[in-house]
Amino acid sequence: MVRSTILFDGALPHAKRAERLARTEQNNRRIQQLRASYATDACPIPTFLGTTSYAFLAPSLREALAASPFASRTRLVPGEADDSCALLAKNIPRSIIFTSDTDLLLFDYQSETLIVLFQDAESPSNFKAHSPSVIAKKFQLQSLVPFAYAIQQRNLDGHAQLLLAAQGIDVDSAPYVEFRGRYIAAVVDPVYLARHSSLPPEMQVLDVRISEFVHQALLGDLEVSVYLPLLVEDPNQASAWNVAQEVRTVAHSILTPSSTIHEYRRKAQHVSPQDINCYTAQNLQVPIKETVERVTASVRWAESRAIDTQLLWPLFALSLVLGELNTPPAVPLVMRVLNGDFDNSWTFVQLTARLHAAIYSLRILKQTVAIWLAINENQNSALYESLSRLQKQMSSLPSIADSFMVPGQAKRVRVEPDVLRELVEEIYTSVGVEVPVEQVSNKKKKRQAREADRKKRKMDQRQQGAAKTPKSGNGFALLHNDS
């Protein structure tokens, strides 16, 4: 019988937070290098940044799996997925683990267990499998943990020296015992899952970073840290995460009132914690009510204008962005960003990052509200009523794939340009921001006229081609000749 399970991290252990911060800082420097390389030139499509460009890839993948035939096999575990993967493999003979984390080579398994690293796979049907048991025997070790410990202690040494060091490690020493403790597959569900029967299903739909916050909040941790995804933005500008800070403060206050959240995000050129003071339980009702009223008004406006939800929420995010800026962006730039029509400018990159920050802050709010309602499902209070209304209004918040714009992706025209311009200008007016007056040079006007003429000719050609196509709409019908 074949059993398969897809596991996602729910929270990173404290021991690995320094490592994550170091990786985030490394990726932050890559973005800074990109900016420095194009200080005056147009920004290229940042493909060489690799996964740095896709900070929301993991939650987006989880969303896609939840809507696929693999939904029943996909789980978000309370801690790090490594322990759960290793425990499953330890109890199931001839297991194969697919992962990008080399740490999974270090656990104790049955001798037949294999590890396949994604980075070694040339194609879905051509990949290399590693046997931790075989490698350990080759190194004359009981497991690979001593070798990993030697690398950590003496990472500048060559392979032979590291192997000798691993073979001579005092396995009873306190530092080694502490290190080895990370690779003991032991999974204990947190007590809050058993305490609230309606909570486990809601935990399964959380984004990884949001799950980590929820995990700390429900455990009652005194020091709660939130690691915001690294955004591809202009490092010469203020952090895009300055946008929608109030939304995130309300979200955090729902589960951790009166506390101080350490929110890790870019400040100046480095990633550092910013202290966010949450509302008290007594003062939370007012900002919650204001949030509900603002979201409800936007949803009703969208319904009156027949606006698709995939456009409504980016427009709502735009209203949050405009409230934070001293100088509002030009309407044509906003339209290009909403359409994903990348113009290779750093202003485009920065506005995209700000919209990402606003939309993701709304996701944090939506998911945090769902957790609070699951914990307080039988409560009868003004706060419960407000959060229930908010949950209903935010139910249409689209998936990451449908609402996040990535510079360089194919253009996605949502509505006709004139209609989109009108909607964007209404958003400006709704938040009390004056629509910027466009200063268009004669050269730019001529270029726009040429572009409009080119698009018109292209549309005419398509219409002429459509007129020649049989009414069946099947172009292959042209191949049939019954005469």
CA geometry: angle 456, 461, 462, nearest 5 deg:
100
Based on the fold, state whether residues 89 and 137 are members of the same structural domain: yes
Residue pLDDT, tens place only, 147-196 = 989 988 877 678 888 899 999 999 899 999 988 888 887 777 888 888 88
Say if strands 74-76 and 6-8 run parallel, antiparallel, or are unpaired: parallel
What is residue 154's predicted lDDT score, i.e. its pLDDT? 78
Confidence check: pLDDT of 21 > 80: yes
One domain, residues 123 and 237: no
CA 420 to chain centre: 27
Please tell me the predicted confidence (pLDDT) of residue 186: 76
> Per DSSP, what are the bridge partners of residue 263?
226, 274
Instruction: Say yes or no to pLDDT of 378 above 80.
Output: no
Return left, alpha or beta for 40; rule: phi > 0 is left, psi -120 to 50 is alpha, else beta: alpha
294 and 157 assigned to the same domain: no
Single pTM value for the model: 0.84
Give yes or no: residues 296 and 179 share one domain.
no
Question: Considering just the CA atoms, what is the radius of gyration of the chain in Å?
Answer: 26
Block residue for tokens 């995130």: 248
Same domain (yes/no): 287, 426: yes
Please write the tens of the pLDDT for every residue from 233-263.
999 999 999 999 999 999 999 999 999 999 9
- Does the pLDDT at position 435 exceed 90? yes
Task: Indicate the pairing of strand 260-267 with strand 270-277.
Answer: antiparallel
For residues 176 and 273, state if they share a domain. no
Residue ranges of alpha helices (H) inside 346-394 are: 346-375, 382-393
In sequence order, what are the beta bridge partners of 272?
Answer: 265
Say if residue 237 is exposed, middle or buried (CB neighbours under 10 Å; 0-12, 13-18, 19+). middle
- The domain containing residue 53 runs over which residues? 6-183
- Least trusted range by pLDDT, from 248-252, 360-364, 399-403: 399-403
Residues 253 and 172 occupy one common structural domain: no
Does the structure show a pLDDT above 50 at 478? no
| 139-148 contact pairs (CB < 8 A, 24+) | 139/163, 139/166, 139/167, 140/167, 141/166, 141/167, 143/106, 143/108, 143/183, 144/105, 144/106, 145/106, 145/179, 145/180, 145/183, 146/171, 146/176, 148/103, 148/106, 148/179
Does residue 459 belong to any structural domain of this protein? no
Domain boundary residue, one of 183, 216, 231: 183
Whether 106 is in a domain gets the answer yes
pLDDT at 469: 46
Burial class (CB in 10 A: 0-12, 13-18, 19+), 135: middle
The DSSP code for 366 is H
176 with 212, same domain: the answer is no
Q: Which two tokens stand for residue 29?
A: 């420097």
Given 430, 446, 476, the domain boundary residue is 430
How is residue 470 written in tokens?
């049989």
Q: Are residues 246 and 327 in the same domain?
A: yes
Question: What pLDDT band is residue 197 in, cutting at 50, 70 and 90?
Answer: confident
pLDDT at residue number 470: 44
Rounded CA gap, 299 and 296, in Å? 5
Q: Is 473 left (phi over 0), alpha (psi -120 to 50) or beta?
A: left
Residue 79 sits in a domain whose CATH number is: 3.40.50
User: What are the CA-CA distances from residue 267 to residues 243, 323, 472 (Å)?
Assistant: 13, 20, 59
**Which of 149, 183, 217 delimits the end of a domain?**
183
Q: Is residue 376 part of a domain?
A: yes
Structure tokens at 339: 């359409």
Domain assignment present for residue 14? The answer is yes
Residue 451 pLDDT: 67
Q: What average pLDDT score do residues 261-288 get? A: 95
* pLDDT, greater one: 221 or 368: 368
- Residue 90 pLDDT exceeds 90: no
**How many domains is the chain built from?**
2
Q: Residue 351 corresponds to which tokens in the numbers above?
A: 């506005």
Same domain, 35 and 169: yes
- Whether 133 and 271 map to the same domain: the answer is no
Exposure class string for 349-380: b at 16+ Cβ within 10 A, else e: bbbbbbbbbbbbbbbbbbbbbbbbbbbeeeee
Average pLDDT over residues 281-309: 95
Alpha-carbon gap, residue 227 to 210, rounded angstroms:
9
Inter-axis angle of helices 346-375 and 309-322, to 10 degrees?
A: 110
Query: What percentage of the chain reaches a pLDDT higher than 70?
Result: 89
Band (456; pLDDT cuts 50, 70, 90): low
**Secondary structure of 181-239 as H, E, C letters:** HHHCCCCCCCHHHHHCCCHHHHHCCCCHHHHHHHHHHHHCCCCEEEECCCCCCCCCCCC
* Weakest mean pLDDT among 202-206, 219-223, 297-301: 219-223
Is 129 a member of any domain?
yes
- In this structure, what DSSP letter does residue 463 have? H
Q: Residue 274's beta-bridge partner residues?
A: 263
Indicate the Cα dihedral angle 183, 184, 189, 191, nearest 10°: -100
User: Domain for residue 449, yes or no?
Assistant: no
Are 13 and 186 in contact by the 8 Å Cβ rule? The answer is no
Highest mean pLDDT among 76-85, 192-201, 305-314, 404-413: 305-314
Whole-number average pLDDT of the chain: 87
Same domain? For 344 and 316 the reply is yes
Query: Which candidate, 393, 384, 59, places its Cα nearest to that of 254?
Result: 384
The answer to whether residue 480 is domain-embedded is: no
Q: Is the pLDDT of residue 36 over 60?
A: yes
- pLDDT of residue 1 exceeding 60, the answer is no
| pLDDT > 60? residue 73 | yes
pLDDT band at residue 467 using 50, 70 and 90 as cut-offs: low
- Rounded to an integer, what distance in angstroms lies between the CA atom of residue 200 and that of residue 217? 15
Q: Answer whether residue 438 is part of any domain.
A: no
Question: Among 198, 220, 229, 236, which residue's Cα sits nearest to residue 371?
Answer: 198
Give yes or no for residue 349 having a pLDDT over 50: yes
Structure confidence at residue 479 (pLDDT): 31
What's the pLDDT band for 315 if we cut at 50, 70, 90? very high
Is the model's pLDDT at 228 over the cut of 80? yes
